[in-house]
Structure 1
Amino acid sequence: MIDRRTFSKAVGLGAPTALAVSGSLGAPAAAAAAAAAPEPAGSTHTGFPVLKQVDAGVLNVGYAEAGPAHGPVVILLHGWPYDIHSYVDVAPLLAARGYRVIVPYLRGHGSTRFRSDRTVRNAQQSAVALDIVALMDALRIERAVLAGFDWGSRTADIIAALWPERVKALVSVGGYLVTNLAAQQKPLAPKAEYAWWYQYYFATERGRLAMEDATDRTQLCRLVWQTVSPTWHFDDATFARTAAAFDNPDYPAIVIHNYRWRLGLADGERQYDQYERQLQARPVITVPTVTLDAELDPFTAPGDGAAYRDRFTGPYQHHTLAGIGHNLPQEAPGAFARAVLTADRL
């Protein structure tokens, strides 16, 4: 077991982004400053050397792969409005440590396509999670370390909660992000509601039309990048590489359905009801877990992880990354990679 005080040294990846460390393995939350060097100012990689496609469930999934074919598997899951390039610097770090790294495009993104035109373009949380289980089955992966942020955190959390036998360890940015539909009907503090402006925009016809228009969609997504990662000074080329994934023909429908479903404004499918009933009970996660909070992410809950600590009952560490925004793995790839290695050793 890696002690939280030697978090960066134990995994041998050099100095991390400054961390406030707390709540390790059930200890009381007590933030402590960690002396550290900053992350590199920009990405050192621009793409993935290997991109593949595989039929998995209702999808033909596009994914990047790095590292040895027979290494222990880590699956990295992106969020919105992002794509696999959020892990363009994380993947080589983990591959160099001997991991087989799988980075899939979620449904509606990049080269991932529905196998049938008749399949409902549904983005409710359990459907997206089952996509990743189907991908693991298609690639004959019994267990993997799952790590994600935003939609990716939610997806990884759900798999760890409902199918823990498939998850060796978990890294979840933002903690426990399983959507509670009842709670979604209650107002948040005004500042928190303000951060979710696009969710309410997508509930309107104007929002749907904006997502269907390539220019409006690109401008909206770039604005989200700028507002939720206020200190990340990405260049045009970095954004363009990810924005290409938004040209997927199912992207508008998937994004709109995801946010409308969360607010109770769009129906899910009956075939997922059994999973949603389990998720509404807020099941605990028992697998070894590292949770990460980004200090400057407007969606980071106050309390340094206290709001969701009781949902993780296995070996556990929590870290807050100072000066980092929402796209944590791309803003702080070294710290994210260290979290994966730490979770796998808990």
Structure 2
Amino acid sequence: MPEPMKPEPILPDEIDATRRDWIKGAGALLAAAPFAGIVPARAQPAGFGPLKRVEAGDLSVAFVEAGPRDGKPVLLLHGWPYDIHSYAEVAPILAASGYRVLIPFLRGYGETRFRSETTPRNGQQAALAADALAFLDALGIERALVAGYDWGARTACILAALSPERCKGLVSVSGYLIGSREANATPLPPKAELQWWYQFYFATERGREGYARYTRDFARLIWELASPRWRFDDATFARSAKAFENPDHVAVSIHNYRWRLGLAEGEARFDATERKLATFPTIAVPTITLEGDANGAPHPEPSAYARKFTGPYAHRTLTGGIGHNLPQEAPQAFAQAVVDVDAV
């Protein structure tokens, strides 16, 4: 394994003049002249500045921003079932270092909304990646550092693999998370399958109804199982749980897991992208992968994915009972990884 990357002074970013419109290749349409505005005060997230909004691809994206507008862009992507508050402590650390930090609510979370009632409430991996790239395009950002965990790590990996010219560097919790429905068709050993109990629950109508009826209880259980040593309080959970009140949260969540098992169809416009992802493309941009020593969620061993990163690469396992929601449980270490990968 390569030596860990060491922090260096932050230098001005050189914008990559080339631009490959991956969204267009996937068949998605971008707004020609997006409008960025402020979301009403009732929706303001605790611990952040004003919640902003921009029209981007399929979505009207609600997001928070920290740091100087001319700073190097950092896109931070949250997972399921969490929200932007996973980065409540990461954001000010990066902002103080001069980065422009951007944290959007994913489709189906918080104040983010679909722009059309007819758009499928699709949770497949290519759709989420298209959302992220459309978000960068809508803000006029050519190249960014991209970091995430859970769904957010998968999205970040896809951007780094298929649109490397848009990624200055990658920080991914639990490593290489690009998947395929073909690979998911192969059974795992019983103990590994047990970790995916909620995926099988969601495959049933009973599961969909149960998640809709008990969304907060379900999410809290996932938090407890995925981070067994994280002693979050009621207020911390309630702060994020508001994001699950989004009218499309259940539909997007259920589709995500059903699509993985081949029980729900994706959109034809993403077929070409999914075929590329099914080849498990390598990632050449500078990357740091992170793992917590107490991650209770399903995750691969670092040795299983190290060869998928062909550029400058380092892996860090964090000790001290760090679970699945690594940026919220270890914000300083997560922020340091972003700074370090930028210095390569």
TM-based fold match above 0.5: yes
Q: Which residue of 2 aligns with 1:314?
A: 311
C-alpha distance in 2, partners of 1:99/1:190? 44
C-alpha distance in 1, partners of 2:286/2:57? 27
> Contact 2:180 / 2:274 at 8 angstroms: preserved in 1?
no
1:148 maps onto 2:145 in alignment: no
Change (3 A) 1:192 1:11: farther
The Cα shift of 1:269 comes to 0.8
Segments of structure 1 that go 5 or more residues without pairing to the other structure are 13-44
In structure 2, which of residues 267, 270, 291 is the aligned counterpart of residue 269 of structure 1?
267
> Contact 2:196 / 2:298 at 8 angstroms: preserved in 1?
no
| More off after superposition, 176-185 vs 235-244 | 176-185
C-alpha distance in 2, partners of 1:202/1:232? 25
SS in 2 for 1:182: helix
> Contact 2:286 / 2:312 at 8 angstroms: preserved in 1?
yes
Counterparts of 1:180-329 in structure 2, within 5 Å, are 180-213=180-213, 216-299=214-297, 301=299, 303=301, 305-322=302-319, 323-329=321-327
The Cα shift of 1:50 comes to 2.6
C-alpha distance in 2, partners of 1:309/1:122? 30
Q: For residue 335 of structure 2, what is the amino acid of its counterpart?
A: A
1:105 maps onto 2:102 in alignment: no
> Contact 2:174 / 2:300 at 8 angstroms: preserved in 1?
no
Q: Which residue of 2 aligns with 1:59?
A: 59
Counterparts of 1:123-142 in structure 2, within 5 Å, are 123-142=123-142
The Cα shift of 1:211 comes to 2.2
- Superposition RMSD in Å: 1.7
C-alpha distance in 2, partners of 1:230/1:190? 21
C-alpha distance in 1, partners of 2:230/2:77? 20
The Cα shift of 1:295 comes to 1.6
C-alpha distance in 2, partners of 1:53/1:302? 35
Q: For residue 327 of structure 1, what is the amino acid of its counterpart?
A: N
SS in 1 for 2:48: coil
C-alpha distance in 2, partners of 1:266/1:160? 26
The Cα shift of 1:190 comes to 2.4
| More off after superposition, 175-184 vs 275-284 | 175-184
Q: For residue 268 of structure 1, what is the amino acid of its counterpart?
A: G
Q: Which residue of 2 aligns with 1:334?
A: 332
> Contact 1:192 / 1:299 at 8 angstroms: preserved in 2?
no
Change (3 A) 1:275 1:77: same
Aligned pair count? 308
| More off after superposition, 92-101 vs 318-327 | 318-327
Q: For residue 67 of structure 1, what is the amino acid of its counterpart?
A: G
C-alpha distance in 2, partners of 1:185/1:85? 34
C-alpha distance in 2, partners of 1:196/1:337? 29
User: What TM-score comes out, normalization by structure 1 length?
Assistant: 0.86
C-alpha distance in 1, partners of 2:324/2:74? 21
Segments of structure 2 that go 5 or more residues without pairing to the other structure are 11-44
> Contact 1:290 / 1:316 at 8 angstroms: preserved in 2?
yes
The Cα shift of 1:176 comes to 0.5
The Cα shift of 1:299 comes to 3.7
CA displacement, residues 230-260 of structure 1 (integer Å, 9 cap, x when unaligned)? 1100000100010000000000100000000
The Cα shift of 1:181 comes to 1.6
Q: For residue 50 of structure 1, what is the amino acid of its counterpart?
A: P
| More off after superposition, 47-56 vs 102-111 | 47-56
Q: Which residue of 1 aligns with 2:20?
A: none
The Cα shift of 1:88 comes to 0.4
> Contact 1:144 / 1:169 at 8 angstroms: preserved in 2?
yes
User: What TM-score comes out, normalization by structure 2 length?
Assistant: 0.86
Q: Which residue of 1 aligns with 2:23?
A: none
> Contact 2:8 / 2:343 at 8 angstroms: preserved in 1?
no
C-alpha distance in 1, partners of 2:3/2:94? 20
The Cα shift of 1:3 comes to 5.7
C-alpha distance in 2, partners of 1:236/1:278? 42
The Cα shift of 1:192 comes to 2.1
SS in 2 for 1:64: strand
CA displacement, residues 162-214 of structure 1 (integer Å, 9 cap, x when unaligned)? 1111000000001110012222112223222222111111111111102222x
